[in-house]
Amino acid sequence: MSQRLTAASEEAALEQLHADGCTDGLPVVIPTPERVERMVLASGLDGDVSLGQLGPNLGEATVEKAAIAAVMAGCLPDYFPVVVAAVRAVSDPRMDMTEVQATTHNLGPLLVVNGPAVGACGIASGFGALGPGHRANASIGRAVRLAMINIGGGRPGTSDMALLGHPGKFTFCLGEDEEASPWPPLHTSLGFGIDQSTVTVACTEGPHSVLCFPDDDPEVYADHLLNVLAASLSGLGANNTHFARGTQVLVLNPDHATALADVGYDRATIAEVLCQRAKRTWSELSTVRARGSGIDRHQRSQGEDPELVVHALSSPEALLILVAGGTGLYSTVMPSWGAGPHGNSHLTVEIDLDQTCEIPLVMPAS
Amino acid sequence: MRDAIKAARRDTPAVALVTTKFSPQGDFVSRSAGMPDIPRVILPHPVAGTGEKAMKMVADDIADEVLQALGAAG
């Protein structure tokens, strides 16, 4: 059972939560027992069920505490199964959330939702899906951040040591546009069925835009697109390029996805090609980093051969490819950190949409 | 900090090395892990990426302090 606080009014409660460092700096919905209870009911789970431990505080992420975060973030109870799955993911030891919160690098968990939950919750996947104006995206991602603050204890400068942070650390959630995609949904390539709902979590930097104009020749267009994506996935300032590991995310807009599909590419072959092309030679790397810094395993094992090639993706599986956003010239890449005991990999958790209990109506006081 | 805590839990004398800027974070982690008094030595910030020469100078500067803390821990 969570600690109960008392306040003279909702306004006073809000100020108290701000003063205690329990918010993300924006106003929150006050998590009254009634609101939290309604949220818990939407999970079909008991409030004291643990979803894992969330670092660096190693706080017990119970369903009730996740519900408090969801209420504060402004979630509808219908969204709560997505929040539960996402909190389960970020509490999984494989996500290294203690290290992710503590690093000086600027990264945060990106939530990609697939399956029926996208439509059921109204999660945006088209124009501006990662921008403002979409309640489900905004509040689900925010709930996870509030859980990371209040359960995980991540607070800037004392336990969240990101040198600058990025705006996605307020909220960072979108759906895959499965209808606009020329390929089966992302989660089906990760071992889930098309009727299952999932949230895939990858801790990344913010979105980096990638420009590619169409070409009259479809083969040339696809080749140019793959070249510019590969260059963007192996930036000389990106950790992945130097550490040669970590999941990166590629969000293809539907036009770019279609252009690749039209000449025969699918998700797997795109990942293979980009894994090959997203690379730098040691001579390129040596122009931007100190000799003898020994920060990548290639250098440690093979010395400083100028012709040595370092791949920014350790394998095709280290690239998550989804289709989202409006149609047009821009796709997006999210590089990542590439460190931590588990190498900053991604994780997919099923969303249990079928366990929701009937939510009692809240009647206004007469 | 967590490495030192893990070692100390196995009854291995341990001292955490924490840079000045990470000192509050180290305090937070040690408190949340239930070992607020784990011995620690404070290093200048930053240490990472400063190169082997600078690292050796830091090591020379703190060696006695580390030994002292390990002695106290043992």
How confident is the model at residue A12, as a pLDDT?
97
Q: Please name the member of B29, B32, B51 whose beta carbon is closest to the beta carbon of A290.
A: B51
For the cut 60, the answer to whether the pLDDT of residue A122 exceeds it is yes
How confident is the model at residue A268, as a pLDDT?
98
Determine the 3-state secondary structure of A333 from DSSP. Answer: strand
User: Which residues in chain B have Cβ-Cβ distances shorter than 8 Å to A290?
Assistant: 49, 51
Instruction: Mark yes or no for CB contact A58/B51 under 8 Å.
Output: no
Q: How far does the CA of residue B33 sit from the closest CA of chain A (Å)? A: 7
Q: What is the pLDDT of chain A when averaged over all its residues?
A: 93
Compute the average pLDDT of residues A208-218: 97
How confident is the model at residue B70, as a pLDDT?
87
How confident is the model at residue A296, as a pLDDT?
53
How confident is the model at residue A274, as a pLDDT?
98
- Cβ–Cβ pairs < 8 A, chains A and B: 31
Closest CA to A137 of A155, A127, A123, A149: A123
User: Which residues in chain A have Cβ-Cβ distances shorter than 8 Å to B25?
Assistant: 56, 102, 158-159, 161
A-chain residue closest to B22, CA distance:
A158
A-chain residue closest to B49, CA distance:
A293
Q: Please name the member of B21, B29, B52 whose beta carbon is closest to the beta carbon of A56.
A: B29
What's the pLDDT tens digit per position in A192-205? Answer: 999 999 999 999 99
For the cut 60, the answer to whether the pLDDT of residue A294 exceeds it is no
Q: Report the DSSP pairing between strands A173-175 and A108-114.
A: parallel
Phi/psi of residue A107, nearest 5 degrees: -140, 160
Which are the contacts of A40, defined by CB distance < 8 A and separation ≥ 6?
Answer: A46, A47, A63, A64, A67
Q: Which two tokens stand for residue B18?
A: 């924490």
What's the pLDDT tens digit per position in A38-93? Answer: 999 999 999 999 999 999 999 999 999 999 999 999 999 999 999 999 999 999 99
User: Which residues in chain B have Cβ-Cβ distances shorter than 8 Å to A159?
Assistant: 25, 28-29
How confident is the model at residue A293, as a pLDDT?
52
A-chain residue closest to B28, CA distance:
A159
How confident is the model at residue A224, as a pLDDT?
98
Buried/exposed A219-232: b ≥16 CB within 10 Å, e otherwise: eebbebbbebbbbb
More confident residue, A105 or B74: A105
What is the pLDDT confidence band of residue A306, given thresholds at 50, 70 and 90?
Answer: confident
Q: Please name the member of A159, A293, A295 whose beta carbon is closest to the beta carbon of B25.
A: A159
How confident is the model at residue A366, as a pLDDT?
46
Compute the average pLDDT of residues B11-17: 92
How confident is the model at residue A248, as a pLDDT?
98
Return the minimum-mean-pLDDT range out of A114-118, A276-280, B28-32: B28-32
Closest CA to B45 of B73, B19, B17, B10: B19
User: Which residues in chain B have Cβ-Cβ distances shorter than 8 Å to A98?
Assistant: 2
How confident is the model at residue A180, as a pLDDT?
98
What is the pLDDT confidence band of residue A363, given thresholds at 50, 70 and 90?
Answer: low
For the cut 80, the answer to whether the pLDDT of residue A362 exceeds it is no
Q: Is A53 on the interface with B (CB under 8 A)?
A: no
Instruction: Mark yes or no for CB contact B22/A292 under 8 Å.
Output: no
What's the pLDDT tens digit per position in A9-22? Answer: 999 999 999 999 99
How confident is the model at residue A250, as a pLDDT?
98
Instruction: Mark yes or no for CB contact B25/A293 under 8 Å.
Output: no
Q: How far does the CA of residue A154 sit from the closest CA of chain B (Å)? A: 10
For the cut 70, the answer to whether the pLDDT of residue B12 exceeds it is yes
Chain A interface test: which of B29, B31, B56 (most A C-beta within 10 Å):
B29
Phi/psi of residue A60, nearest 5 degrees: -75, 115
What's the pLDDT tens digit per position in A336-358? Answer: 999 999 999 999 999 999 875 55
Q: Is A98 on the interface with B (CB under 8 A)?
A: yes
For the cut 60, the answer to whether the pLDDT of residue B14 exceeds it is yes
CA A66/CA A83 separation, integer angstroms = 7
How confident is the model at residue B47, as a pLDDT?
86
What's the pLDDT tens digit per position in A146-180? Answer: 999 999 999 999 899 999 999 999 999 999 999 99
More confident residue, A290 or A140: A140
Whether A338 and A244 have beta carbons less than 8 Å apart is answered as: yes
User: Which residues in chain A have Cβ-Cβ distances shorter than 8 Å to B51?
Assistant: 290, 292-293
- Alpha-carbon torsion, ordered B33, A13, A88, A2, to 10 deg: 60
How confident is the model at residue B50, as a pLDDT?
82
Q: What are the domain boundaries of chain B?
A: 2-73
Closest CA to A322 of A182, A124, A195, A131: A182
